Amino acid sequence: MSSTSPSFIGEYFIKESLCDKLIDFFHSTPEQHSQTIPNTNIQHWYTKMPGKVGTFDPRIDPNVKDSMDLTFSYKTIFSPDLPVEALPFSNMIHEYIDALGDCIREYGEEYVHSLESIGQIQEGVNLQYYPPGGGYPNLHCERASSTYPFVKRHLVFMTYLNTVTDKGGTHFKHQNYTANAIKGKTLIWPSDWTHMHQGVISPTQEKYIITGWISHTEPTDIWVDNRKSLQLLLDL
């Protein structure tokens, strides 16, 4: 591969103050917590529990993935009818989605045509904590199956919420590139096998990230609200 070949890995930055808000929210939420929104069809506002591995039969296995995951329901993110008690949480996650939209717009300018088939966030957004010595070192890609929802994943996004100085980044095998974990750094890359990657475990420091996927959208998928898709978010 030529040294001038594009990696298709975009690196951008969001505000550090937003990273702090997300970490604070993580710590304020108890483990095994599942918050519901009354008088709506949204069953899980967000959940916090040990991270799971496995495409077809997800399981908790800290020997493979040692993390605590706080998952925001995508319906919560895009619902126009959240109750008052949900607004502080909603405003925080919308602030992140807005910052992410700026990053995605820059990615589209850097990699022309990359956003032509872009759709929306159709899965939960995951705020993850890795303790010292913990992580997900298995080599993997984000579209590891031809089944839903994996097959519709188009781009991956991930933001480091704290700086890790003793390893702790993300290594991309085929690009022979390791991204350092720097507070606010937001990575965007294609979801397929071309971007096999693995977490680099820090033996001494903890790591926080927020991550998720942008999927291809069909007409029947579109939500009718003011943040229904990244097409609206990016004014595409």
Domains of the chain, by residue range, sit at 10-52+60-233
pLDDT at 80: 61
CATH code at 10-52+60-233: 2.60.120.620
Residue 211 pLDDT greater than 90, yes or no = yes
Break the chain down into helix, strand, coil percent, rounded to 5: 25, 25, 50
80: preceding bond cis by omega (within 30 degrees): no
The angle that helices 16-28 and 87-110 make with each other, rounded to 10 degrees, is 140
Range with top average pLDDT, 32-41, 73-82, 117-126: 117-126
pLDDT at 38: 55
Q: Is 220 exposed, middle or buried (0-12, 13-18, 19+ CB in 10 A)?
A: exposed
Percent of all residues in the chain with a pLDDT value above 90, rounded to a whole number: 53
Mean pLDDT score, 29-56: 69
**How confident is residue 120, by pLDDT bands cut at 50, 70 and 90?**
confident
pLDDT at 145: 75
Mean pLDDT score, 2-26: 88
Residue predicted with more confidence, 110 or 88 = 110
pTM: 0.86
How far apart (Å, rounded) are the C-alpha atoms in residues 67 and 53? 10
Residue 30 and residue 210 in contact, taking contact as beta carbons nearer than 8 Å: no
pLDDT at 221: 46
pLDDT at 231: 46
Residue predicted with more confidence, 47 or 160 = 160
pLDDT at 39: 55
152-193 pLDDT, tens per residue? 899 999 999 999 999 999 999 999 999 999 999 999 999 999
What sign does the CA torsion over 192, 214, 151, 124 have? positive
Both tokens of 153, joined, read 């994943």
pLDDT at 219: 47
